[in-house]
Structure 1
Amino acid sequence: MTIASALRPEVLATGLDAFLVRFALTPEPAAMTAARRLADQLESRAPEGVCEIAAALVSVFVRFDAALTDRAGLKAWLETLAQQTAQGPLEMPEPSRRWTIPVAFGAGEGPQLAEVAGALGLGEEAAVAQICAADLRVLTIGFAPGQPYIGLMPEPWNLPRMAQLNPSVPAGALVVAVRQFVLFGAESATGWQQVGRAAFRTFRPERQPPMPLQGGDAIRFARATSDEIAALADSPDPMGGAKLEVLR
């Protein structure tokens, strides 16, 4: 359970037809959990007129149709719901879906695994074991189409971003910083450290749906060899070996 005492939610006007419910200015674990819980509540019982709900790491964007709802009334309702959420209990809601995604770790697929493991005071094998044993969630999707921010790892994994930007990591790169992972759907620059690579792609416009991951999805990483990832990338499997389990 995360601690809710420091959370001070705000409901901020965003243009004429939207509000931003914000729990913090920085990515605190409690605020991330609160945002995910609020998004789940809104998605399950949104008031009439709410037409878009988009969760970020510590906030939730809520857009409404002004012809179908009362702006002041919706703001008051969101303020009450946000305060109730901030008071806890702050545990991640039970996931409705779980993904298992094969990843090759270390060597050419994760060139900074040794550096990450050293910062944790672990060997590479122990660091990979912790990653694969972690019960992770898609905290939000953003920055690029379908790109997930996945967390949270235990507190020792609160690793800083690199001082120098890595100008390019490949599609499928699994990178880590600040207790979170990002799984890149395309080649990208990053300030996070690459520990592995998957054949799974988080965005393919020709696939239905083009962005398979959803906020709140449970994630497990399964260790694979570099050859297995290469074979999955060349196979007709559109999911690169990733398996989806519907839990409820």
Structure 2
Amino acid sequence: MTVPPDRDGRVSLWPRLFPLGSDGLLVSFADRLSEPANRAALAFRAAVDRAGLSGVAETATSLASTYLRLDQAQADRAALIADIEALLASRDWFRAALPDNRRLWRIPCLFGTPRAPQLAEAAAAAGLSPEKAVQSIAQTRLRVQTIGFAPGQPYLGELAPDWDIPRQTQLTDRVPVGALCVAIRQLVLFSVPTPTGWRHIGQTAFRAFRPDAADPFPLRPGDEVVFEPVSAEDYSALEAAGPDGGARSVLLP
């Protein structure tokens, strides 16, 4: 299988299967994030879950890889790896359909203002006015590429090439829950208060981590998100609207 050329024009053979620790396997589809590699990771994980391979205890995805944790008490490791390799060779995962039961979320977002103070700075780094920056983001349907770093926290992408901007060289001491931050053509929607090197450009009332809920992580890898701009006046009402913060979701066909 061959991935389309990456941003530097290189072509490499993927996927690759690596042992990971004493009980894990990592199936990598690229050495950096791309839409085809993320699609492949999501599609392959879903196929492994559907296949019900004996000895696979857990699966997860990162930006461009699928992780498989093996139940060593049940697994014939050599036979299981052969089954995984056969599944891996069975199709072109870079063009596979995304998993079923994905949702499209529309999340209200307050861009700029003192609540999200780095919009102008990030827009300038992208060569855009603040107004054009908001328009660019609001018009982009973003995929939840992975959940990580903090509980339920989504990495979303990809944005237009203008947004291939670096992280800050220094940390922001703290961004609040619901902060929308940007770097390297991605957005992160923060699920807990935390320091960050990403620029804080928007603020939502959406809670991506709900520890007391039956389903604590409402966003899942493969879901899609649109951030809808709202005014400061409208945002105040959303803060009292519960953990969805005015967000709506529908199943994708």
TM-score (norm 1): 0.88
Which residue identity does 1:175 align to in structure 2?
C
- Structure 2's unaligned 5+ residue stretches are 6-10
Cα distance, 1:28 vs. partner?
4.2
CA contact (8 A) 1:117 1:127 kept: yes
Cα distance, 1:54 vs. partner?
0.5
CA contact (8 A) 1:49 1:68 kept: yes
Q: Does 1:54 align with 2:80?
A: no
User: What count of residue pairs does the alignment treat as equivalent?
Assistant: 246
Query: Which residues in structure 2 correspond to 1:1-248 (within 5 Å)?
Result: 3=4, 5-82=11-88, 88-89=94-95, 96-235=102-241, 237-248=242-253
Q: Give the distance between the partners of 1:225 and 1:43, measured in 2 at CA.
A: 42
Residues 84/175 of structure 1: CA separation in 2 closer, same or farther (3 Å cut) = farther
Deviates more, 1:56-65 or 1:166-175: 56-65
SS of residue in 2 equivalent to 1:234: coil
Q: Give the distance between the partners of 1:198 and 1:156, measured in 2 at CA.
A: 23
Q: Give the distance between the partners of 1:94 and 1:226, measured in 2 at CA.
A: 36
Q: Give the distance between the partners of 2:105 and 2:93, measured in 1 at CA.
A: 30
Which residue identity does 1:225 align to in structure 2?
S
Which residue identity does 1:43 align to in structure 2?
D
Cα distance, 1:157 vs. partner?
1.2
Cα distance, 1:134 vs. partner?
0.6
Which residue identity does 1:41 align to in structure 2?
A
Deviates more, 1:85-94 or 1:201-210: 85-94
Kindly report structure 1 stretches of 4+ aligned residues shifted beyond 6 Å.
none
Cα distance, 1:107 vs. partner?
1.6
Which residue identity does 2:23 align to in structure 1?
D
SS of residue in 2 equivalent to 1:25: coil
Q: Give the distance between the partners of 2:125 and 2:96, measured in 1 at CA.
A: 29
Residues 193/14 of structure 1: CA separation in 2 closer, same or farther (3 Å cut) = same
Residues 223/32 of structure 1: CA separation in 2 closer, same or farther (3 Å cut) = same
Q: Give the distance between the partners of 1:72 and 1:157, measured in 2 at CA.
A: 44
Q: Give the distance between the partners of 2:213 and 2:100, measured in 1 at CA.
A: 27
Q: Give the distance between the partners of 1:26 and 1:96, measured in 2 at CA.
A: 24
Cα distance, 1:79 vs. partner?
3.0
Cα distance, 1:198 vs. partner?
0.2
Cα distance, 1:206 vs. partner?
1.4
Q: Give the distance between the partners of 1:110 and 1:94, measured in 2 at CA.
A: 34
- CA RMSD of superposed structures (Å): 2.3
TM-score (norm 2): 0.87
SS of residue in 1 equivalent to 2:239: helix
- Structure 1's unaligned 5+ residue stretches are none
Cα distance, 1:7 vs. partner?
4.5
